[in-house]
Structure 1
Amino acid sequence: MSVKIAVMTFAYEGDREIGFDMLNSLLRSFGNTKFDLYFTDDASPSRLDRDITSWAEQHNLVAKCIRYEENLGFRGAGERTLSLLKLIAQQPVDYDLILRIDTDALVIREGLDKELYRAFSDKDALYGVLKPMRPKDRIGYLLDLFPFGFKRKLDGHRLSKRFSFSRFSPVWWWRAGVSALIKGFKFHYVEGSCYFMGGNFPKVLLKSGFLDLFDKKKHGLITSEEDVLVTTLCRAAGSPLIETDNIDARWRRVNIIGKKAVEEPVDNLPWVMHALKATPKDAALRSQVHNTLPLFNASNIGRPAPTIANET
């Protein structure tokens, strides 16, 4: 199978070990299929951008990073995602697929590359499991479409969960939001832990002008919800939105599989599980996954042995 795949993810200092574990699991699952890696580094003191680039070079992968010199924190997810989408859209590469995956996700089965390609049908489309927005987030979304209203407060360079009635101009994405509602957005969005898109999707957004709209001074309440924003831009651009769990119901279990990942037959499992945080509790389950599932078996010929620590 010859397919050009790009992978998008974020790098954080606190997720160093689990981030490398995710990358190694992706590498093992893809087997001989190479991918280009696009990631952000949220001002990591240890310069994760250099370590991840070195890891990629060791495995003959292309890696491109957007490094922020100030930590954007949790609510900077929207900015990070849009920056990566724009970077990919500007590359002279014709990707077939682009996978967006969280650092606290873990690939747990062989052949994720083949499964993505099997589900793929449209290079302009966004693919994922749709999740309904919480009532309070729906309210926040609608409030953001008014020309004035609430906005999140800054805590240094980072947006906080606190907000005030201090916005007196439209948010940067308001036109896209209105257009998305007109074109069928019903407050369901692709789950952000793991979704993918056709290779043309970022270019469609760029051509529509949506990737040039971001202005960090023109924010409201919806900021960390990058998956909501990507789904909104998809609807506004008129791109297809394809539900992967309608293609294979196992995708529906990515965020809920939990301990069943080591209890059920491998063929019943989704290709990815989420979330395995950098906590002692999740570390214990992560260790069980490594010790139980065939993907992480040292005899799995042709795939690198699993490591959690930085390989550089």
Structure 2
Amino acid sequence: MTAFWEPGTAYGPGDIVRYEGHRYKIIIPHTSQGDWNPTVTPNLWGRLSDEDKGEWDGYQEHHKQPADYKPPVDYHPPAPEEQKVDIPHEERQKRWYDLDDNRKKDLEIGGGLLAGIAAAAGGYYLYKHHEKSEEDKKSDTWALQNWLHDAEARQKEYRQNGPRGPAQWILNKGKDIPPNAIVVGPEHDWTLWICRAYIDGTIQVGKASNVFERGAVIGYHDKEVQLDTYEILVGDMRGLKWVDASGYLDVDNLRARPVEGGHDKDGTPLFIAEAPHNGAVHPGIASAKLEGAVIPYGGKTVQVNNYRVLCYNF
């Protein structure tokens, strides 16, 4: 008997589920969540025949649909596998809302959002995704896949050409920390390294360690978020230095160029900070809009007035 679809379940190749009286076969392996049921995620699930023949009724070469099928609002059928959409580098730097409506449709129909959907389904953190409008969900997916695309390009360049400076972000997964990752300091019996990841239209800086559940911890909206796919900062401290700062960050007062960290939703740069707290030094963020460095700690975020910013040593 076909199992019923359930949220919080890891579905893999060949899985078939029943939902609202119909059967669906998986397209993209993922871990389900409450707002991604089969009727609203046609790129993740394909509807099967109700006559139990194992034949696809969903979008196929001849675009067949069952007579009673009603697509969700704004639904576009998934494209055939060979159909691709080219996304220039310059376009990836744009927000979803800055694209015109015709281009958005091209990206949806041509599979331009599939990578982001697959990434999110594969365990990336999308902040309160289920509470957002359909257009906001598409924006979230677009931004996530563009960050991931750029991170993969940085990782490929690093593997082919080696370091290109004293600090470089490279894509990393899980608890396997690269040997040249930049250390912030020990906490108890373990080491903390610097990481960053996409969350809710931002790139946030946090901490990585091989003792964490998934490898990385990012602070966002006063909570700690566990991630297993992130970028980690590698390099050589001989070309870097920590510069004292306090309160709202004034980059000009550093008298040194800070290392690129991330950015907030409005584009405000987020720089790499380290701050003392509870007997250890922790990585986090500092910016012109924060009253001090913000670090993830103890399941939430903590603000520390006096901190240091990572800068280039030249």
Point out which structure has higher relative CO (alpha carbons under 8 A, 6+ apart): 1
* TM-score normalized by the length of structure 2: 0.24
* TM-score normalized by the length of structure 1: 0.24
**Which of the two has greater helix per residue?**
1
**Which of the two has greater strand per residue?**
2
